[in-house]
Amino acid sequence: MPQSTTAAQRTHRLVPSPAGRVHLVEQGTGPLVLLVHGFPESWYSWRHQLPALAAAGYRAVAVDVRGYGRSSRPADVAAYRMLDLVEDNAAVVRALGEESAVVVGHDWGATIAAHSALVRPDVFRAAALLGVPYTPPGGPRPSEVFAGMGGEGRDEFYVSYFQEPGRAEAEIEPDVRGWLAGFYAALSADAMPGPGDPGPHFTGPGGTLRERFPAGALPGWLDEAGLDVYAGEFERTGLTGALNRYRNMDRDWEDLARFAGAPLTVPSLFIGGALDASTTWLADAIKAFPDTLPGLSGTHLLDGCGHWVQQERPAEVNRLLTDWLAALPA
């Protein structure tokens, strides 16, 4: 099948990183905008933003985060700590011959983007966060917080469920495509569980996440061909690299202790889905933005939108991003 014009304009590259290599997809010329995906996705989650940013005069670069796609996948669980991912991002900027970049992230990518700008403001001059609000490092140890989040019947929170190497993999990898379809649907506005349904964020005692996925069609933002792209990557790589990000949250807590309570002072933007658990559970974090994001230009909660914000609402997100980028200091 011939490539579309948009796809033909993309350039796939491998660049060196501390772990070995980062795979990226690039489109356009101009100031560098680095796009960082979340779980369980890839560079492909930015397919709608690459051409829009390129058309607006930017060099848009979407990476496969360490552990995903064609990027390196170290065997050591500790190799997926936040500081290593920050250095991967800085390495991409250097490898592209640039001195600085604006970083944009979604889901885990939002947290990686925020910490990239927090730890390396010399490289990352602004940060846009999609889906997951910024919360400064510090506070209680994460594993203790997540262990206490079980609901009735002592359900287990998904972050705790992901901690033991091999456990979630045993659920997902026998049917990667089916699992991804259910997970994407469960966090989408048009297919997420109704009120009172714990959805995919909790497992019952001895259960699996998949048991609580909605049955039925794919969410409206994802077609069969798109699902094939995601499934094909994870069928090839497995899920361990992606899941290892969750297995480093206590290490991050220790590594980032020197930044405890620190605001993110670079120019920033937040876009989230009004129906996303990440914005409802972390509503207090959003209320704290005047203190934690003093460079914030706007908070945009999109009505009727779920977790996959830049894929569920690409036109709206593209407009918000390009307007914000255009207003940034040169």
3-state secondary structure 66-127: CCCCCCCCCCCHHHHCHHHHHHHHHHHHHHCCCCCEEEEEECHHHHHHHHHHHHCCCCEEEE
Q: Pairing between strand 59-63 and 32-36?
A: parallel
pTM: 0.95
Neighbours of 9 (CB within 10 A): 14
pLDDT of residue 8: 67
For the annotated catalytic residues, the residue numbers are 107, 307
Q: C-alpha 98: how far from its chain's center?
A: 23
Q: From CA 27, how far away is CA 49, in angstroms rounded? A: 10
pLDDT of residue 152: 56
Going along the chain from its start, the domains and CATH numbers come out as 5-327 (3.40.50.1820)
Q: Please name the residues in contact with 196: beta carbons below 8 A apart, sequence gap of 6 or more.
A: none
Helical H segments across the chain, by residue range: 5-9, 49-55, 82-95, 108-119, 142-147, 158-161, 167-172, 176-186, 224-237, 240-243, 249-255, 277-281, 283-287, 289-292, 309-312, 314-327
8 Å CB contact between 295 and 264: yes
Q: Which of 269, 280, 282 is nearest to 310 (CA)?
A: 269
Q: Which regions of the chain are under pLDDT 70?
A: 1-6, 8, 150-153, 193-198
Neighbours of 282 (CB within 10 A): 18
Q: Pairing between strand 20-27 and 59-63?
A: antiparallel
8 Å CB contact between 293 and 132: no
pLDDT of residue 330: 78
pLDDT of residue 216: 80
pLDDT of residue 139: 92
Using CA atoms, how far residue 120 sits from 137, 229, 266, in Å, is: 15, 32, 11
- In this structure, which amino acid lies at residue 165? P
pLDDT of residue 2: 40
Query: What are the contacts of 280-288 at 24+ separation with CB within 8 A?
Result: 282/132, 282/133, 282/135, 285/133, 285/134, 285/135, 286/133
pLDDT of residue 88: 98
